[in-house]
Amino acid sequence: MPAVSRPLPPLTALAPPDLEWRADDVSDAPYSSVYDDVYFSRHDGRAETAHVFVKGNRLPERFAAWRETRAFVIGETGFGTGLNMLCAWACFERHAPTAARLHLVSTEKYPLPRDALAQALAIWPDLAAQARPLLDQWPEPLSGVHRLWLSERVTLDLHFGDAAERLARLDGRVDAWFLDGFSPAKNPDMWQPELFAAMADVSRPGATFATFTCAGVVKRGLRAAGFTWRKTPGFGRKREMLCGEIAAPPDDRRRAATPWFTPPRARPARQVVVIGAGLAGTSVAAALARRGVAVTLLERDAPGAGASGNRQGALYVKLAAETNPQSRVYLAGLLYTRRWLTTLDPEQRLWQDCGVLQLAPGAKEATRQQRFLAHHALPERVVHGVDAATASQAAGTPLDAPGLDYPQAGWVRPDRLCRQLAASPGITQRCGEAHDLDFDADAAAWRIALTDGSTLMADHVVVATAHETPRFTPLAGLPLKPIRGQLTHVPVPADAPSLARVVCAGGYVAPAMDGVLSLGATFAPGDTDTAVHAADHARNLAEFEATLPAFAEALRDAGVRLDPAACEGRASLRAASPDKSPYAGPVPVREAWLDDYAVLGSDARRVPDTPGQHHPGLWVSAAHGSRGLASAPLCAEVIASRLCDEPLPLERELVDHLHPGRRLIADIIRGNATRENATLSTSSPNDDAQTSPTTTETP
């Protein structure tokens, strides 16, 4: 039986550190009263970082010689004030070629509050340029992975939680390690064999490390994990420190239980074609272009012409009462989209973080929300419960129901967002419709056949065509179902009452934008009609009046006609997977999986050791349903990170949960997958497939 990994720990708000501020010759410096230790050297913290971590890993010369197309990756145990990472970034800017990229990965169990972080970094005014984007995007203290864009060339992934546990779930490889943290004598819980083993598992061959300590437990742990070490002169009053490397990291032992999710080998990405210019496609294209990849964005209409063409959409999620992979992905996506929009559009021309209220208008939903609040201990700035009076105050209108308040959520203009992303530097837009795909083995490239008879060639292809995705031959087995949704637009005068938050219940209502109130949307699985129907306007208006009766009455008093005949709207098609989670990742070779994993159909415990075969350079982003604003940008990062051979923005188990082959494996186990039933999609999008082996638990 394969090894079973520990399940993902519950999402939780992390406790802030107990800080004291002790004066030195320059200013007050942070000090941990729990560990009775400094965050950085009181003698000269920046000089210590330069000596121990920057020089100890030979970063100036390695940066100067870096010619790889992938990013150079630095891993760190203990983010603290961020001084180490900011100094590494400054060194990178001084020495690396202009085309080089830097990817920083850091763990932190006790994240500093933003104000404390700003106070600590203010000691070094010359690092203000590096500190500003860090402070602007500083995440809430929620366990998990938080991706920040520090600059066009520098990415930071903050893994909040225990260092060993976080690194054990890291999906990516590291070139250099900053082995930091409070001293082993004062914080022995961190310096455990599990930490060094996790570092080894995610190191590239030849990865280096440096640390300030020469403690015996550290030397023994490093050696046992496969690292070699040597003593070198330390900094200040510390006579010695350790440097070293790992020549041959161990094979990825973490894939024993799920070999089908073994990532495909990295291949060159000189030219990528993205098919589909909705939010899924344009966010992938922009993510790749940002990494210096040449992208052709192929769309038969204009960017955002499909479901992403709505003029206003709600940025929010509906989380499960108890933690599951789907909820974790969507919550991570919501928080990532919020930071991503902050960097993409700081003036908020395309979005507003006005907050979202998810009401509980009935006893069933109220009970579910109470279970959610009892099961989760999330930061209040992420989500918290409110009674009807508090909800009314937040929304700016009387409400009769309690609910959940997401203060950092809001609304987005998806049509304009798609157009802006499509116009990113490095993206070539092309109008046309792809007919099919085939891989040219001689050219080691994909040939995309267009309906006008022309062809495109590409090293990689990303298919982002929503419910139409299975029409391409290599994707014929991907289960997707179209869902029709119609929005209703109600014209309102400038002096009409307004909402202060997006309000969701059976549908959603956003604050009026440009004199139009958007509400909806209907939900019709399997319906592919995109005509606008008055009956659906009537349904949306009825839901609106049931959810917000006082607001509807106030609008009537202001002369607004809540009449289907007076409304305009838009109908479009979304796509859903059977388990309601998106698909984001490489496309499996269906026939090979049916052969390689057929034994699972008779005994799910007999897991072969055969890695999953994938179509070389073929990727998909689809099934974002009605929550694409929360899922598509993060899924774009999953694909771009994998394609460009860099660490991924989610825990490995959640990356596996998004894998396009997860349903195929589930169907093999259930005996439902054969070569004859290539379409696969006979399940309702409401089918719950949480029992499918999308994590490293034994099926």
Please say whether the beta carbons of 55 and 158 come within 8 A: no
DSSP for 289-338 reads HHTT-EEEEEESS-TT-SGGG-S-EEE-----SS--HHHHHHHHHHHHHH
Instruction: Evaluate if pTM is beyond 0.75.
Output: yes
For 135-168, the pLDDT digits (tens) are: 999 999 999 999 999 999 999 999 999 999 999 9
Identify which of 504, 485, 514, 506 has the alpha carbon closest to the alpha carbon of residue 307: 485
Q: How confident is the model at residue 264 (pLDDT cuts 50, 70, 90)?
A: very high
Identify which of 671, 640, 646, 665 has the alpha carbon closest to the alpha carbon of residue 588: 665
C-alpha–C-alpha distance, residues 598 and 590, integer Å: 12
At 303 the pLDDT is 92
At 282 the pLDDT is 98
Sheet holding 28-32, edge to edge: 19-23, 28-32, 37-38
Average pLDDT over residues 74-101: 96
Average pLDDT over residues 588-596: 97
Architecture of domain 261-306+416-479+585-670: 3-Layer(bba) Sandwich (3.50)
At 54 the pLDDT is 97
Identify which of 127, 121, 155 has the alpha carbon closest to the alpha carbon of residue 40: 121
Share of residues in the chain with pLDDT > 90 (%): 83
Which range (219-233, 251-265, 506-520, 535-549) has the least confidence?
251-265
C-alpha–C-alpha distance, residues 105 and 111, integer Å: 14
Q: Please name the helix (run of DSSP H) or strand (run of DSSP E) that holds residue 281, with its range, or none.
A: helix 279-290
C-alpha–C-alpha distance, residues 99 and 92, integer Å: 11
DSSP for 409-427 reads -EEE-HHHHHHHHHTSTTE
Backbone angles phi, psi at 133, to 5 degrees: -65, -30
Does 695 score more than 50 pLDDT?
no
Does 509 score more than 60 pLDDT?
yes
Does 452 score more than 50 pLDDT?
yes
As annotated, the residues of the chain forming the CATH 3.40.50.150 domain(s) are 19-246
Q: Which residue in the block uniquely carries the two structure tokens 């040939």?
A: 447
Does 686 score more than 60 pLDDT?
no
Average pLDDT over residues 163-180: 96
As annotated, the residues of the chain forming the CATH 3.30.9.10 domain(s) are 481-576
At 41 the pLDDT is 63
Pick the CATH number of 19-246 from 3.40.630.150, 3.40.50.150, 2.30.110.10, 3.30.230.10: 3.40.50.150
At 27 the pLDDT is 55
Which range (443-457, 512-526, 543-557, 668-682) has the least confidence?
668-682
Domain 481-576 CATH superfamily: D-Amino Acid Oxidase, subunit A, domain 2 (3.30.9.10)
HEC per residue, 554-574: HHHHCCCCCCHHHCEEEEEEE
As annotated, the residues of the chain forming the CATH 3.50.50.60 domain(s) are 261-306+416-479+585-670
Does 372 score more than 80 pLDDT?
yes
Average pLDDT over residues 365-370: 95
Share of residues in the chain with pLDDT > 70 (%): 94
For 237-262, the pLDDT digits (tens) are: 788 999 999 999 998 778 889 999 99
As a dihedral over the C-alpha atoms of residue 463, residue 464, residue 466, residue 469, rounded to 10 degrees, the angle is: 0
Does 363 score more than 50 pLDDT?
yes
At 483 the pLDDT is 96
Q: Residue 130, Cβ neighbours under 10 Å: how many?
A: 21
At 419 the pLDDT is 97
Average pLDDT over residues 4-30: 75
Does 694 score more than 90 pLDDT?
no
Type of residue at 673: A
At 580 the pLDDT is 94
Average pLDDT over residues 407-421: 97
At 24 the pLDDT is 60
At 21 the pLDDT is 81
Does 490 score more than 90 pLDDT?
yes
Does 481 score more than 70 pLDDT?
yes
For 380-407, the pLDDT digits (tens) are: 999 999 999 999 999 999 999 999 999 9
Does 26 score more than 70 pLDDT?
no
